[in-house]
Amino acid sequence: MQENPVVYLVGAGPGDPELLTAKALRLINEADVIVYDRLVSPRIMDLAPSGTPKINVGKQPKLHPVPQEEINQLLVSLAHDGRRVVRLKGGDPFLFGRGSEEAAYLRQHNVAFEVVPGVTSASACAAAVGIPLTHRGLSNGVRYVTGHCCDTSDLDLDWRGLADPATTLVLYMGKANIPQISIKLIANGLSETTPVAAICNGTRPEQRHIVSTLGEISGATSTADFKGPVLFIVGRVVELADILGVAAPEIRPASPLKERRRA
């Protein structure tokens, strides 16, 4: 217990325990209680001491058993009890992780906090399949976009700006909306032959990914029947997966769809 409690907003990375930062691992071992999300892998949770209380507040698409407001209140309550609280999030807490919302709530309630960055899925999953997010002559920038909206309305994104062939587009949480996303990007000028990779459970033993095109990625993803979080990478850099993706053996279904499983 602490006289001056601190809530640690900790990034757990994409799932591979070896991609945890040293600081994240230390805090997990020192925590009085861990409040964790669905995207934190079981192998990372297994690193916590067996006696540490663990509270699952994970969300799934269209299913939020613990609303964000209740999570915010829980963090404040645990801190006021004098506990060393680790709020463990998949990836990085400040990149589509609602970490900033929780930090703002803690600040409003006079609870100290510290943000511990984590390896985000974009860089980790891309590296796991041999895709650089930038490459001279292919991509001179990267844009990170959420493919998920809070309700059933259409995604309200800068589609014309996103349809830039010189930029790599990384889509988080886009599995459900990939048909709409593909149509919008093509309608705003991005070629339907633009390469796309869809990576499921990136960096984990059950990792799978497919390489297709913008015009066919929706059907390809549906056929693959992915179980788990999916990250999409759109852009010419995806072409380099055949050259740089040497870490895992390939399974090659009929063109244009390619599916690979992690060794």
Catalytic residue numbers? 37, 59
From residue 61, give the alpha-carbon distance in Å to each of 22, 174, 227, 248: 31, 10, 13, 30
- Between 99-108 and 68-80, two packed helices, what is the crossing angle to 10 degrees? 50
**Residue from 88, 87, 70 nearest 5 by CA:** 87
C-alpha span between 19 and 80 (Å, rounded): 31
φ, ψ of residue 202 in degrees (nearest 5) = -55, 140
C-alpha span between 98 and 45 (Å, rounded): 20
**Residue from 71, 73, 118, 76 nearest 93 by CA:** 118
In terms of residues, how long is the chain? 263
Question: What amino acid is encoded at 136 in this protein?
Answer: R
